[in-house]
Homo-oligomer: A and B are copies of this chain.
């Protein structure tokens, strides 16, 4: 038996293990210090009341003969697909329910979608980037070209007409930079994809943080996108489902390559290698889209957005360049005094006991940048920014 040798080309990321190690060392040296973590990429607010009630009700149902549910449809129950259809309709995006596939999360689908593409495709990935895009393609042995995201383009690159690739990743609002593409920029992407017979994999995991009405929350708000883009979304950040697990992927019926409908291919992939999401979790997800659910999750998102604005205000006060923080839970800042990423990490840790994420961990263009997140508590975020304000005043 021969293994998939592409795995040998995977690079091991030591980013989060190195952070842990450094924080551990610091705690050992300074056990009295009150560390505040703003490196967290995970939500911290509990599930909202309406969702918990729906989950509980479904658990009880599953214990009764009449309410028991066995195998469900691999692509998700209609009751949930219809709610998501309506969620898109509210933003004037019309989808058919068979274009909506329920899964256990965007990460799974972003990896698994590659099953339906040839290994010969060339892949375009912005740098800095969520590492999963690179790793999943490396596992398949696909050629990767990077698109430079940097301060000059506000970390929102658009491909040049001459750039050739078959599969392109966009994450907007972006992880790690928090930057959000506007309509013109996404239109340029869609036009590029249509001209190049490419497919866009659009990661919309943070769409619910967009409050600016002019910014697109779905790629399908752009004309032509249904002929060239697959959209991935999730309730992880929208409704605090990181530990509850539910995502959804839109594969439009108009997506057609080599005379083959991608929708049919993905349906075949999912019915063959997946058995659907738990009925219980799907009932919880349905409640997210109820009127009460939408109001309750908005409170949590607003909570995180308030934290983000406290961070943004502190950076503005000190004229520190940054992206994100308004329509995103992430703030991506240029390290002050031209520090390198790890230098600034140590500076924050040893001077004010605040932990963030060095930007260089997300790609070469991340060097000299730093990510802060809004997922800690209001109190901790405020305290951390008071410390940062002091530090920057004396730097």
Contact = CB atoms under 8 A, between A and B. Distances in A.
A98 interface: no
Interface stretch (A22-30, A42-50, A153-161, A217-225): A42-50
Given A120-B2, A243-B279, A59 B70 contact: no
Interface in A215-270: 240, 242-245, 257-258, 260, 262, 265, 268-269
Given A117-B1, A118-B4, A199-B1, A52 B46 contact: no
Contacts of A243: 62, 68-72, 276, 278-279
Nearest to A111: B273
A203 interface: no
Interface in A99-116: 104-105, 107-108, 110-112, 115-116
Contacts of A65: 45-46
Size range of the chain A interface in the assembly? 35 or more
A252 B184 CA distance: 52
Interface in A34-73: 42-49, 51-52, 55-56, 59-60, 62-65, 67-72
Contact of A62 (B71, B117, B244): B244
B70 A60 contact: no
Contact of A280 (B60, B199, B280): B280
A229 to B, nearest CB: 12
B278 A111 contact: no
Contacts of A279: 243-244
Contacts of A52: 59-60, 62-63
Given A136-B272, A260-B7, A44 B68 contact: yes
A321 to B, nearest CB: 30
Contacts of A197: 1
In this complex, which of A4, A51, A105, A116 has the most chain B Cβ atoms within 10 angstroms of its Cβ? Answer: A4
Interface string A278-296: 1111001000000000000
Contacts of A46: 62-65, 67-68
B68 A7 contact: no
B111 A272 contact: yes
A276 B43 CA distance: 16
A10 interface: yes
In this complex, which of A105, A119, A167, A273 has the most chain B Cβ atoms within 10 angstroms of its Cβ? Answer: A273
B42 A70 contact: yes
A198 interface: yes
Contact of A245 (B258, B275, B284): B275
28 contacts: A1-B166, A1-B197, A1-B198, A1-B199, A2-B120, A2-B257, A3-B258, A7-B265, A46-B65, A46-B67, A46-B68, A47-B59, A47-B68, A52-B62, A52-B63, A70-B240, A104-B274, A104-B277, A104-B278, A107-B274, A107-B275, A108-B273, A110-B273, A112-B112, A243-B279, A244-B280, A278-B278, A280-B280
